[in-house]
Structure 1
Amino acid sequence: MQSLKLRPLVFYPPFSSNPLQSFLLSFSTASSSTPKYHHSKEATFLFDFLNSNFKLSKPQSVFISKRLSGTTFPRNHPLSVINFFKQIGFSQIQIQTIIRQRVQILFSDVDKTLRPKLDLFQQLGFQGSDLSGFISKYPTILTASLNKTLVPSVEAIKKIVRNEKDLIHVLCKCGQILPKYQLFVSNIAFLESCGIVGNQVLILLKRQSRLLCLSQSAIRNYVLQAVELGFHQNSRMLIHALHTISGLRKETFKRKLDLIQSFGFSKDETLQMFKKYPALFRVSDKKLKVGIEFFLHTVMLPKSALANQPVILMYSIEDRVFPRYRVFQLLKSHNLCKVPSFVYVLCLSEEMFLGKYISKFKENTEALLIAYKGHHIAG
């Protein structure tokens, strides 16, 4: 049999103790004149390996089948991509996540396409697990143009995030925006025309960056909904309304309205509560129900007081509301001081509450602390 002319291949560390190691070894030498069936054998083995290790969908399998078909094996070998990720610290689960979401990355050129993009984020401060976690969370970054999309997007975000220390935190929150530069810039311009500028845009980036990835018509629709509910453009509350409205389905929003009204609040009072504190409609139905029942039936708070101070429904019942109510009752029953109202006590900061209603009364400090902390102190 005629001997085959060998050409050296670059060796990478085994991806894991699976068929890849034997695969690399079995194809560690190949001939430039290898017969056509050898290419088919390698393609078949690789296809089976990728399917079994990455649990590819049918469309992804079809995509890979087309890329592996023919007499010439892909120039950008998928295994070189896999091992590149592993060499720079990506876990197997992270690599699987990337491949399942964007299978075309398997055929990227490591040095020309992938490495420069990762270098960009390393220069911004992403290192180690932060880098691998970020990329695996937003794998579409690796399919976007470096110079036409990623770099301009980062620069646009830098103009909003003045503090470099916060940049990584913000990017981790809004990484899905990076591959959508033109849409992002267009949406920012529209929101600025509505009076949402400066730190308000930063709030959106941190809390509801998904909104900035929507079509401008969708954002315009949310703005119109907010206006119909009583919010004004150029109002500082508009951004908070958009945050809530864009995150809720219309059915969910209506359910919140109906739940509050079931306790005897009028529609106007309910909408007033939403306008004063839009985040109220993002809490669970259970939390809303327990809170309203407690304030109306236990504290005996008039509905008008709750409508004027809906923020108190956001406080933790177990960690803040119940404990402070016990202290409030103790202060009243012992006539230790005149307390304006329970709502006043509830809205104080922790430091002010402790100083004003617990540590101030030295002879009763222990009893007040037990009332406030309950079993935490008793233990």
Structure 2
Amino acid sequence: MLNLVCKIFSHNGRSSIVRISPTEGLCFLQLAPFSSSIAVESSSATARKASFACSYFINELGFAQERALRASRYVNFETPEKPDSVRSFLRNHGFTESQISNMVRRFPPVLLCDPEKTLLPKIEFFKSSGLSQEDLIDLLTATPQIFWNSVENKLAPTFDFLNSMFGSSSNTVMAMKTFQRNLNFEHLQCNVRVLRDAGVPKSNIVNLLKHCPRVFHTDKEKFGKIVEDVKAMGFSPSKVMFVLAIKAFATMNKVTWSQKMEAYKKFGFSEAEILETFEKHPWCMMVSTEKIVAVVDFLVNKMGFERSVLLKRPVLLSLSLKKRIAPRYLVYQTLLANGLVKDDLNLLTMLMASEEKFLKNYIECHTSEASELLKLYTKLRCRLECT
């Protein structure tokens, strides 16, 4: 089984956009210049354009100075005609000034798009696809990088495919927003087909698409290998745990996996036990290394749980320490100190209870002390969440 895990990780005009090295900015900054003449512009001319653009971002779009300076390094212009025309176009299509400003914050090059040739085709496509005005504005405000994608080669096939999966334009919009600029229809389609061929129910594929779309950005050869190795580990394709295991391996590199294995080993877990626990509850390896250390330490050294309990109920390892484990344990200690419960109270039952049942069975039932207990519980949760 360990070999299978190791195999999984073995894959592994007047306006211009200034070229910046990958180490200096985001991916949208690596676009090629519009004109070769940009390369020979004098530093003084570039500085003049950057200064004008910076003032525009501050005065017209309400940017803070630092953000304006950063944006003006990437998108420069000497006159307001182009950005004004873009803003006017967007206003005429229902976008508010606040939405336009947010759009530019996320993707400054949108200010230099040709309204008719670049912006309009995308708006018309989404309208013709049945998106409401509200969904359309929400999508493009959140992911203005979409304006740089081809309708025919990228947007249409991706949108239509996602819509056929979800059967709902609102869910499709949510997925498009999370895919953002990393739209790769070939990977998406191939990876969905791999899951279908493996026997994964459509409902489980849709849930994975909805909650972790970046899994489908994985290179199709690597994705296929992950699916085969997860099957070989004994996960059933018909179960939800199958797609959770795929999510774990597709979103975690070998170094991170090793760090989490070492974190469990420090508390006495053997490698075989960790892998067995992963099969039962893949979430135990999807939480951060820091959370693994904090939760196991609290459960074992503070609450006194035996390691065998965690192996039988690995869901404990993914519970929130701040919102659930620590506040409930404080309630238990308070009840015990006041003689309201016996020390043989089942702490596991207390931790696993729903919030509604916990309040009913451990707080509200103690009528005279209920208000103070609830206040104590709520206060601790708030304090821990703020840390």
> Considering the TM-score relative to the shorter chain, is it more than 0.5?
yes
CA offsets 1:9-57 (integer angstroms, 9 cap, x no match): xxxxxxxxxxxxxxxxxxxxxxxxxxxxxxxxxx4xx1xx53xxx5433
Q: TM-score, normalised by structure 1?
A: 0.70
Distance 2:102 2:256 in 1: 35
CA 1:160–1:131 in structure 2 vs 1: closer, same or farther (change >3 Å)?
closer
* Highest RCO, 1 vs 2 (Cα 8 Å, sep ≥ 6): 2
Query: Which letter maps to 1:145?
Result: V
1:171 counterpart (135, 153, 176): 176
Structure 1 residue 85 and structure 2 residue 60: aligned?
A: no
Q: Indicate which of 261, 278, 291 corresponds to 1:257.
A: 261
Structure 2 CA distance for partners of 1:321 and 1:135, relative to 1, 3 Å = closer
- Alpha-carbon distance between aligned partners in 2 of 1:206 and 1:197, rounded to the nearest angstrom: 14
Larger Rg belongs to: 1
Cα distance per residue 1:194-228 (max 9 Å; x no partner): 22232212222223212223332010122234345
Summarize the alignment of residues 1-379 of structure 1 with structure 2, pairs less than 5 Å apart: 43=13, 46=14, 49-50=15-16, 54-57=17-20, 60=31, 62-65=33-36, 82-87=83-88, 88=90, 89=95, 91=100, 94-95=103-104, 98=107, 106=113, 110-122=115-127, 123-125=130-132, 127=134, 130-136=138-144, 138-139=145-146, 142-146=148-152, 149-176=154-181, 179-337=183-341, 341-374=346-379
Q: Where in structure 1 are there 5+ consecutive unaligned residues?
A: 1-42, 70-77
Per-residue deviation, 1:149: 4.1
Over aligned residues, Cα RMSD in angstroms? 3.5
Q: Distance in 2 between matches of 1:226 and 1:286?
A: 26
Q: CA deviation at 1:245?
A: 1.1
Tell me: CA distance 1:235–1:93, structure 2 relative to 1, closer, same or farther (3 Å).
Answer: closer
Does the CA-based 8 Å contact 1:195-1:235 persist in structure 2?
no
Distance change (3 Å), C-alpha of 1:94 and 1:266: same
Structure 1 residues 299 and 248 mapped into 2: Cα distance closer, same or farther (>3 Å)? same
Residue 253 of structure 1 deviates from its aligned partner by 0.4
SS at match of 1:237: helix
Which segments of 5 or more consecutive residues in structure 2 lack a partner in the other structure?
1-12, 22-29, 41-78
TM-fit CA distance, 1:96? 7.3
Write the distance in 2 (CA, Å) between the matches of 1:274 and 1:348.
Answer: 22
Partner SS state of residue 240, structure 2: coil
Query: What is the rounded CA distance, in whole Å, between the counterparts of 1:150 and 1:331 in structure 2?
Result: 58
Distance change in 2, residues 1:347/1:163 (3 Å): farther
Kindly tell me the number of residue pairs found equivalent between the two proteins. Answer: 313
Aligned residue for 2:199, secondary structure, equals coil
CA contact (8 A) 1:126 1:168 kept: no
Query: How far is 1:331 from its partner?
Result: 3.5
- Structure 2 match to 1:20: none
Contact 2:299 2:305 in 1 (8 A): yes
What per-residue deviation string (whole Å, max 9, x for no partner) do you get for residues 59-81 of structure 1? 75654227999xxxxxxxx9987
Shift of 1:271: 1.3
CA contact under 8 A between 1:222 and 1:246: conserved in structure 2?
A: yes
Report the alpha carbon displacement of residue 296 of structure 1 after superposing the two structures with TM: 0.8
Q: How much does 1:337 deviate?
A: 4.8
Q: Which stretch of structure 1 is more off in the superposition, 78-87 or 334-343?
A: 78-87
Identity of aligned residues (%): 21
- Partner SS, residue 333 of structure 2: helix
Q: 1:314 Cα shift?
A: 2.3
Give the distance between the partners of 1:99 and 1:307, measured in 2 at CA: 50
Q: 1:358 to 1:197 in 2, by over 3 A?
A: same
Cα deviation code 1:270-314 (max 9, x no counterpart): 112222222222322222111111111111101010122222232
Relative to structure 1, is the Cα distance of residues 223 and 217 closer, same or farther in structure 2, using a 3 angstrom cutoff? same
Q: Write the letter of the residue equivalent to 1:341.
A: N
> Which deviates further from its counterpart, 179-188 or 260-269?
179-188
